[in-house]
A and B are shown apart, each in its own frame.
Chain A
Amino acid sequence: MIITGAVFGSIAFAVQGLNAWHNKKNAKKLQELQELYESEVQKKMSALAKEQFEKLCKAKREIAEEEYNAQIKLLEDLHQENLRSIEYLASLDKWPLAVMPLVMRNDSLFFNTQAIDTNKNRNDIVPISIILGPCRDKAFQSAIWRKVEEQLAQHFCSYWGIMSSHPIIFYQDAWKNEMDPADGSSFADIHAKIKNVPTIIISPILTRANSLQLEISHWCIKGLDTEESYVNETRISLPEGSHVYKREANYNDEDIPSLVNELCNYIESLIGFMSDQYMWLRYHEAPLLPTLVQKGVIICDESERNNLYKFSFDMLAMSLNTGDVNALTEIDCILKYCESIDIPLKRNDGFLSLIKKITLSPEDDDINHQINNIIDFNSKFFLSLYKYCNAYQGFYDIDDCTHVYEKYLYMLCAEGVETWCSKYGENHYPWTKAGCREKADEIALDICKSYISRFKWKLKSALETSANLYGSICGISVKFARNIYYNDIKKCIEEDFSKSKIDYELSKYQFQCLRKAINEVVSRLIFSFETEDLLKNVLECKLRNKYVTSQEFSSSFKLGVSVDIDCETLSKKSVGYWCEENFFSDNRLRSSISSYEQNDIDNFILTTLKNSIASYIQTYIGYNNDNSPIVETSSFDEHDEYDPIYCSSLYSG
Chain B
Amino acid sequence: MNIFEQFGFTDPTEAIIRNSIGEQASSIADNVIPGYFAGQMIGALVWGGYSRNSARKQTERSIEFHKKMMDANIADSEERTEKEIEFMRECYIHGMQRQIEYAKDSCEHRLKEEEFRKFCEGTWLKHFRPTIGAILEEFRHPQIDSDGVMKMKLMIARTKLSSETSGLDRSGAYYDFCSDLKEDYLYNLNVDGRWLRAWERDCISPVADTMNLHYIMQGMPTILVFPMQRGDIFSVEVSTWTFQIGQSNMSINKVFQISMTELSGHPNRLKDAMVAAIVFVDDCYRLLFCQKQPNSIYHAEKELKKDSMVWELLCHKYKSMLDSINITTVPNFVTSNDLKKLENTIII
Chain A contacts to B: CB under 8 angstroms: 1, 4-5, 8-9, 11-12, 15-16, 18-19, 22-23, 26-27, 29-30, 33-34, 37, 41, 44-45, 48, 52, 55-56, 59-60, 63, 66-67, 70, 74, 77-78, 81-82, 85, 88-89, 92, 97-104, 106-111, 113, 116-117, 122-127, 147, 150, 153-154, 157, 161-163, 167, 169-174
B204 contact set on A, CB distance < 8 A: 98, 173
Asked if A19 contacts B112 (CB within 8 A), the reply is no
Return A346 CB to nearest CB of chain B, in Å. 28
Return B111 CB to nearest CB of chain A, in Å. 5
Q: Which of B96, B212, B252 contacts A161 (CB 8 A)?
A: B252
Kindly report which residue of chain A lies nearest to residue B74, judged by CB atoms.
A48
- Among A63, A88, A99, A161, residue most surrounded by chain B Cβ atoms (within 10 Å): A99
Asked if A106 contacts B247 (CB within 8 A), the reply is yes
Whether B30 is near chain A, meaning CB under 8 Å from some CB there, is yes
Whether B347 is near chain A, meaning CB under 8 Å from some CB there, is no
Q: Which of A9, A67, A174 contacts B205 (CB 8 A)?
A: A174
Whether B60 is near chain A, meaning CB under 8 Å from some CB there, is yes
Return B137 CB to nearest CB of chain A, in Å. 12
A77 contact set on B, CB distance < 8 A: 100, 103-104
Kindly report which residue of chain A lies nearest to residue B111, judged by CB atoms.
A85
**Contact of A98 with B205 at beta-carbon distance under 8 Å, contacts A11-B41, A44-B70, A109-B116 already known:** yes
Asked if B118 contacts A56 (CB within 8 A), the reply is no
Tell me if A's interface is mostly helix, strand, loop or mixed.
helix
Compute how far the CA of A101 lies from the CA of B116 in the bound complex, rounded to whole angstroms: 10
A110 contact set on B, CB distance < 8 A: 136, 216
A124 contact set on B, CB distance < 8 A: 248
**Contact of A111 with B245 at beta-carbon distance under 8 Å, contacts A15-B44, A34-B63, A172-B207 already known:** yes
Asked if B252 contacts A52 (CB within 8 A), the reply is no
Asked if A70 contacts B107 (CB within 8 A), the reply is no
B84 contact set on A, CB distance < 8 A: 56
**Among all A-B residue pairs, the 3 with the closest Cβ atoms:** A98-B208, A173-B205, A19-B48
Return B163 CB to nearest CB of chain A, in Å. 17
Q: Which of A22, A41, A108, A127 contacts B248 (CB 8 A)?
A: A127
Q: Mark B114-145, 1 if CB is under 8 A from A, else 0.
A: 11101100110000000000001000000000
Q: Mark B92-118, 1 if CB is under 8 A from A, else 0.
A: 100010011001100100111111101
Asked if B114 contacts A123 (CB within 8 A), the reply is no
Whether B88 is near chain A, meaning CB under 8 Å from some CB there, is yes
Q: Which of A70, A97, A127, A153 contacts B247 (CB 8 A)?
A: A127
- Among B49, B249, B254, residue most surrounded by chain A Cβ atoms (within 10 Å): B249
**Contact of A123 with B246 at beta-carbon distance under 8 Å, contacts A103-B215, A161-B251 already known:** yes
Kindly report which residue of chain B lies nearest to residue A14, judged by CB atoms.
B41
B215 contact set on A, CB distance < 8 A: 102-103, 106, 108
Asked if A147 contacts B231 (CB within 8 A), the reply is yes
Return A62 CB to nearest CB of chain B, in Å. 9
Compute how far the CA of A163 lies from the CA of B119 in the bound complex, rounded to whole angstroms: 27
B60 contact set on A, CB distance < 8 A: 33
Asked if B40 contacts A12 (CB within 8 A), the reply is yes
Q: Can you list 9 residue pairs at the A/B interface with Cβ under 8 Å? A: A19-B48, A22-B48, A74-B99, A74-B103, A106-B218, A153-B254, A162-B250, A163-B251, A173-B208
**Contact of A19 with B107 at beta-carbon distance under 8 Å, contacts A103-B211, A172-B207 already known:** no
Asked if A52 contacts B247 (CB within 8 A), the reply is no
Whether B193 is near chain A, meaning CB under 8 Å from some CB there, is no
Asked if A22 contacts B49 (CB within 8 A), the reply is yes
Stretch binding the partner chain, chosen from B31-39, B179-187, B265-273, B296-304: B31-39
Whether B316 is near chain A, meaning CB under 8 Å from some CB there, is no
**Contact of A33 with B63 at beta-carbon distance under 8 Å, contacts A98-B208, A172-B207 already known:** yes
Whether B66 is near chain A, meaning CB under 8 Å from some CB there, is yes
Compute how far the CA of A85 lies from the CA of B113 in the bound complex, rounded to whole angstroms: 11
**Contact of A162 with B252 at beta-carbon distance under 8 Å, contacts A56-B85, A103-B211 already known:** yes
Asked if A162 contacts B247 (CB within 8 A), the reply is yes
Compute how far the CA of A170 lies from the CA of B81 in the bound complex, rounded to whole angstroms: 65
- Residues of chain B from 331 to 347 with CB closer than 8 A to chain A in the complex: none
Chain B contacts to A: CB under 8 angstroms: 30, 33-34, 37-38, 40-41, 44-45, 48-49, 52, 55-56, 59-60, 63, 66-67, 70, 74, 77-78, 81, 84-85, 88-89, 92, 96, 99-100, 103-104, 107, 110-116, 118-119, 122-123, 136, 204-209, 211-212, 214-216, 218-219, 230-231, 244-254, 257
Kindly report which residue of chain B lies nearest to residue A102, judged by CB atoms.
B115
**Contact of A169 with B56 at beta-carbon distance under 8 Å, contacts A56-B85, A66-B92, A103-B212 already known:** no
Asked if B96 contacts A15 (CB within 8 A), the reply is no
Asked if B66 contacts A123 (CB within 8 A), the reply is no
Q: Which of A27, A63, A98, A106 contacts B92 (CB 8 A)?
A: A63
Asked if B52 contacts A23 (CB within 8 A), the reply is yes
Asked if A63 contacts B89 (CB within 8 A), the reply is yes
Kindly report which residue of chain B lies nearest to residue A172, judged by CB atoms.
B207
Kindly report which residue of chain B lies nearest to residue A22, judged by CB atoms.
B52
Kindly report which residue of chain B lies nearest to residue A66, judged by CB atoms.
B92
Compute how far the CA of A174 lies from the CA of B92 in the bound complex, rounded to whole angstroms: 50
Asked if B88 contacts A123 (CB within 8 A), the reply is no
Asked if B205 contacts A59 (CB within 8 A), the reply is no
**Contact of A111 with B218 at beta-carbon distance under 8 Å, contacts A5-B33, A44-B74, A161-B251 already known:** yes
Return B231 CB to nearest CB of chain A, in Å. 7
**Contact of A162 with B136 at beta-carbon distance under 8 Å, contacts A48-B77, A173-B204 already known:** no
Return A13 CB to nearest CB of chain B, in Å. 9
A56 contact set on B, CB distance < 8 A: 81, 84-85
Asked if B96 contacts A70 (CB within 8 A), the reply is yes
Asked if B85 contacts A55 (CB within 8 A), the reply is yes
Q: Which of B33, B111, B245 contacts A116 (CB 8 A)?
A: B245
A18 contact set on B, CB distance < 8 A: 45, 48
- Among A77, A161, A162, A170, residue most surrounded by chain B Cβ atoms (within 10 Å): A162
Compute how far the CA of A41 lies from the CA of B66 in the bound complex, rounded to whole angstroms: 9
Return B216 CB to nearest CB of chain A, in Å. 7
Q: Which of B59, B67, B205 contacts A34 (CB 8 A)?
A: B59
**Contact of A30 with B77 at beta-carbon distance under 8 Å, contacts A16-B44, A63-B88, A123-B245 already known:** no
Return B220 CB to nearest CB of chain A, in Å. 11
Compute how far the CA of A37 lies from the CA of B65 in the bound complex, rounded to whole angstroms: 12
Asked if B59 contacts A33 (CB within 8 A), the reply is yes
Return A241 CB to nearest CB of chain B, in Å. 28
Q: Which of B33, B63, B103 contacts A37 (CB 8 A)?
A: B63
**Contact of A59 with B85 at beta-carbon distance under 8 Å, contacts A85-B110, A147-B231, A150-B230 already known:** yes
Compute how far the CA of A85 lies from the CA of B254 in the bound complex, rounded to whole angstroms: 39
Return A647 CB to nearest CB of chain B, in Å. 49
Asked if B252 contacts A157 (CB within 8 A), the reply is yes
B49 contact set on A, CB distance < 8 A: 22
